Structure 1
Amino acid sequence: MGLIGYARISTIEGAQVLDRQLDALNAAGCERIFEDRASGAKAERPGLSACLDFLRKDDVLVVLDLDRLGRLAGELITLIDQLAARGVAFRALNAPMDTTTPTGRAFLQIQAAFAEMERNIIRQRVNEGLIAARARGRKGGRPRIMTADKLRYAKHLMADRARPIPEICKELGEIRPSTLYHYLHADGSLKTAGRDLLENARKEESGT
């Protein structure tokens, strides 16, 4: 059984991020490591293509984090299923994601299903909110620019570093970039205003 590593950084991530992955993959015993400098949503990743061509039956493809291999759950499952059909297993070092074990395989399927469901629910809520806001117009007061559901959806959109901010703002209902950055950092992590908005929404939903 050969351990074959794959490391990826986006075009805006630094060398330290790649070094961290390489160190972990080497420590795990990978005999060869392939690299890419591209977005996880980008179809053309020559390093990954070369890695997939190199893999042989009984090999194990190893990554540090699951999102290094890809961001879309459906595509991840398809890729891992294709590897399994070739007799190649998959392992993510920072998660119980080891398809050489039944538990790891089940965890992958469950996590991917919940991730897809969460994205779909958030997208549906945002769309419903936008439709309701447009129907109300300005009657009953000015609608809130950023809602908790819209903020959660924004976090998902910003996780794809290759997606332009103007495109994200348009999908969120033509909000301003300054409004987006009031709640989120450039990497999609929450600022104080974002944390406060989600906490207040949680209290409203729970009635506390």
Structure 2
Amino acid sequence: MNRVGYYRLPPVRGVFFSPVQEERLLLLGCQEVFSDRCLTNAIIRPGLDKALAALAPGGTLAVLSLHALAGTTTDLLEAVLKLKARGLHLVVAQPAIDTNADPGFFATCEILTAFNAERAMVKAAEAALVSKGGGAQGLKAGAPPSQSEGGD
């Protein structure tokens, strides 16, 4: 299948379908639409799994917002890069993203993922340096002012 849609339902009792979201995804050119219920810390998303299984390499997953894919930036980056690794494209209605027309979004996600990994390494190195008693002297609050500053 060329383009499938995916959305998440709000955690409201009795709501099992969103005709508005489904219609918007169909207007984006989706041949089929899948959904899941939004749950706190939902890691298992059978609707998303079905949507991805329906796509052949080169196919496109369409979502209305990035929130459909993840609840945190780190999880979003992971989800987007999994799409790229499978040879899939992503279309987002808001903000407007279409990796068919401009694959730069994937490149940006790769850069942000690398930055996040590097930042974790830097934080670990800083913590190790401080715990060994080195490197923290200039960072302590209330360090005495430089003696080169003259006054009358």
Are 2:53 and 1:53 equivalent residues in the alignment?
A: yes
Find the aligned partners of 2:99 and 2:3 in 1 and give their Cα distance. 13
Which structure features the higher share of helix residues? 1
Q: Quick one: structure 1 residues 51 and 16, their matched pair in 2 at CA, closer, same or farther if it must change by over 3 Å?
A: closer
TM-score normalized by the length of structure 2 = 0.62
- Residue 43 of structure 1 aligns to a residue whose secondary structure is coil
RMSD: 2.8
Find the aligned partners of 2:69 and 2:13 in 1 and give their Cα distance. 15
CA contact under 8 A between 1:4 and 1:33: conserved in structure 2? yes
Deviations 1:27-76 (A, max 9, x none): 11100111111326301221112222222101000001110121111111
Q: Quick one: structure 1 residues 13 and 105, their matched pair in 2 at CA, closer, same or farther if it must change by over 3 Å?
A: farther
Corresponding letter in the other structure for 1:60: T
Bigger relative CO (Cα 8 Å, ≥ 6 apart) = 2
Structure 1 residue runs of 5 or longer lacking an equivalent are: 117-208
Are 2:20 and 1:20 equivalent residues in the alignment?
A: yes
How far the C-alpha of 1:97 sits from its partner, in A, is 2.2
- Residue 61 of structure 1 aligns to a residue whose secondary structure is strand
Find the aligned partners of 2:106 and 2:19 in 1 and give their Cα distance. 28
Deviations 1:165-192 (A, max 9, x none): xxxxxxxxxxxxxxxxxxxxxxxxxxxx
Larger radius of gyration: 2
Identity of aligned residues (%): 29
- Residue 6 of structure 2 aligns to a residue whose secondary structure is strand
Find the aligned partners of 1:53 and 1:86 in 2 and give their Cα distance. 11
Corresponding letter in the other structure for 2:78: T
Structure 2 residue runs of 5 or longer lacking an equivalent are: 117-152
Which structure features the higher share of strand residues? 2
Q: Quick one: structure 1 residues 15 and 51, their matched pair in 2 at CA, closer, same or farther if it must change by over 3 Å?
A: same
Are 2:53 and 1:87 equivalent residues in the alignment?
A: no
- Residue 105 of structure 1 aligns to a residue whose secondary structure is helix
Corresponding letter in the other structure for 2:62: V
Find the aligned partners of 1:40 and 1:31 in 2 and give their Cα distance. 29
